[in-house]
Amino acid sequence: MIKFFKFFFPGLILVLLFITSILPQINRKIAVKKARKIKVKTIELTQQERLNLLIRHEGVKDYFRVENDGLSMFASPQDKAAGNVETKIFFNEVGLFTNLINSLEPDSLFTLLAEKGITKFSDHGIKNPKVSPKKSEFENPISTPLEGIKIAIDPGHVGGGMKLAMLEGKYIKSVNSNGDTVEFNEGNLALLTSKLLASYLEPLGAEVMLTRHRLGETAFGKTFLEWLDQDFHHAIKSEQENGNIDKKTANYFLYKATPSIIYHRFFKGLDFKERAKKINEFNPDLSIVIHYNVDETNYFDRTRSRKIIYPTAENYSMVFVPGSFLTKELVEPRSRLEFLRLIFSDDLDKSLGLGEEIARQFNDHLKVNYVHPKKNLSYIKHTTKETPFEGVFSRNLVLTRLIRGPVCYGEPLCQDNILEIDALSAGEIDLNLLKGPKRVEEVATAYFNGILGYFGIVNQ
């Protein structure tokens, strides 16, 4: 018996060591076998269908002309009348053009297009750059179906304290169902929603980037007041040197404008561009811009009175995707460049697929109905184009224009709705010392489900 144990235990140890050594290989083989097919939802549009969604005003047609072999772009209606072509994209070089979009900075690409003019890229020896295309179909492990996927999230506005939120004009000060005065702001809600969404996506393998991370933080990594103190004068000088503002305007901002005017008429535009720059440098597979809405009539009443905004029964959801250019929105060279990108790339096609999924989640998960396309809202009536999908509209916002790749700009609910006021003013969750209402958890889940739907993944 003693001899038996003498040989049994060392043998047992050797067997256990062998099993332990091969387990990782077994697990890896199992993981490979348990793969999930991922397919990006793309609404395949013809070039004419894209143009229909891109053009809101007939005057936009004065900036381009579709020809048998390509599309010519003009810097102005006067140039079109005179036949002065700014640049031309030939149909047989569309693939090269879209690859150049993904490999060159906007300013460099626009300079190249201007120098090329009506000639072909090949006439200048320009060849296809080495660009890794975004895959529309691939396989990933079931446990991490978003492995290798990059997702950018832009938490709308700035938030922070109510004083800054009131300067932004993005706040709610109202009365809840108990008759108590409550206040909260959109920037903080958007940030908490973004952080929650990131916390859902990252365990599934996604690489997530937020354009801002703290309450009151702008895209420049500091508060507006810090920017005003540290960077304002340099920004004025830079914008003047680049020809974006003249001396008279610069002096007005420097010596006469209030912080509120500086924020709305100068800083906000720079902040939008910085958000887009961060996102484009990250080169994501998709981008989500997170906002919360306010019923338009209520918003303007509050703006006039600067007092409490009264609860409304109105509540509706919507998302925006690129498109719906107005006549004057092609004056800037960068806008014409993005217009060309949206005509020839599949960014709009994929944005529609993403937007449809997220809009459906707002309607089904949040129980907030799609906004009716004929609803009496000025921005719906005058600046958007209806798409084939409920709750999804083309709108030429700064970020839907400047962000490259699929983008969805969400407005899931009206903050001033009588039920939402109660839900959004309750401090029920705490995420890394960032407190907020449980309702934002539901909103983050709606975005999450929409993203999974875009990739053809069913959330169990």
pLDDT digits (tens, 9 = 90+) for 364-377: 999 999 999 999 99
Residue 267 has pLDDT above 70, yes or no: yes
Do 357 and 422 lie in a common domain? yes
On whether residue 53 sits in a domain, the answer given is no
Residue 280 has pLDDT above 70, yes or no: yes
How many separate domains does the chain show?
A: 2
The token duo for 106 is 């906007």
On whether residue 46 sits in a domain, the answer given is no
Model confidence at 433, pLDDT cuts 50, 70, 90, reads low
Residue 135 has pLDDT above 80, yes or no: no
Q: What is the mean pLDDT of residues 130-158?
A: 88
Do 340 and 442 lie in a common domain? yes
Q: How far apart are CA 395 and CA 53, in angstroms?
A: 9
User: Containing domain of residue 106, as a range?
Assistant: 61-124
Q: How far apart are CA 401 and CA 324, in angstroms?
A: 10
On whether residue 45 sits in a domain, the answer given is no
DSSP symbols for 75-142: SSHHHHHHT--SEEEEGGGHHHHHHHHHHS-HHHHHHHHHHHTTS-GGGGT-------PPPSEEEEET
Residue 51 has pLDDT above 80, yes or no: yes
Q: Spell out the SS3 assignment of 216-233.
A: CCCCCCCCHHHHHHHCHH
Q: What is the mean pLDDT of residues 230-243?
A: 96
On whether residue 16 sits in a domain, the answer given is no
On whether residue 197 sits in a domain, the answer given is yes
228 touches 259 (CB < 8 A): yes
Residue 205 has pLDDT above 70, yes or no: yes
Domain boundary among 124, 155, 175: 124
On whether residue 227 sits in a domain, the answer given is yes
Do 297 and 431 lie in a common domain? yes
Do 117 and 161 lie in a common domain? no
- Residue 181 bridge partners (DSSP): 175
Q: What pLDDT, on a 0 to 100 scale, did the predictor assign at position 125?
A: 84
Q: What pLDDT, on a 0 to 100 scale, did the predictor assign at position 427?
A: 76
Q: What pLDDT, on a 0 to 100 scale, did the predictor assign at position 271?
A: 98
Q: How far apart are CA 424 and CA 317, in angstroms?
A: 16
Do 81 and 176 lie in a common domain? no
Q: How far apart are CA 11 and CA 32, in angstroms?
A: 32
Domain boundary among 74, 92, 124: 124
pLDDT digits (tens, 9 = 90+) for 4-34: 444 444 554 444 444 444 433 333 232 333 5
Do 142 and 99 lie in a common domain? no
Percent of the chain residues topping a pLDDT of 70: 89
Q: What pLDDT, on a 0 to 100 scale, did the predictor assign at position 138?
A: 81
The backbone region for 262, taken as left when phi is positive above 0, alpha when psi lies in -120 to 50, beta otherwise, is: alpha
Q: Which range has the top average pLDDT, 140-144, 160-164, 219-223?
A: 219-223
Domain boundary among 124, 156, 172: 124
On whether residue 459 sits in a domain, the answer given is no
Q: What is the mean pLDDT of residues 245-270?
A: 97
Q: What pLDDT, on a 0 to 100 scale, did the predictor assign at position 20?
A: 42
On whether residue 288 sits in a domain, the answer given is yes
Q: What is the pTM of this model?
A: 0.90
Do 341 and 399 lie in a common domain? yes
Do 214 and 108 lie in a common domain? no
Do 120 and 141 lie in a common domain? no
Pairing mode of beta strands 318-321, 392-395: parallel
Do 117 and 144 lie in a common domain? no
pLDDT digits (tens, 9 = 90+) for 145-204: 999 999 999 999 999 998 999 899 899 999 899 999 999 999 999 999 999 999 999 999
Do 340 and 393 lie in a common domain? yes
Model confidence at 306, pLDDT cuts 50, 70, 90, reads low
Q: What pLDDT, on a 0 to 100 scale, did the predictor assign at position 302?
A: 62
Do 70 and 207 lie in a common domain? no
Residue 327 has pLDDT above 80, yes or no: yes
Tokens 């932004």 appear where?
168
Residue 299 has pLDDT above 60, yes or no: yes
Q: Which range has the top average pLDDT, 2-11, 28-37, 404-413?
A: 404-413
Q: What pLDDT, on a 0 to 100 scale, did the predictor assign at position 24?
A: 38
CATH number at residue 369: 3.40.630.40
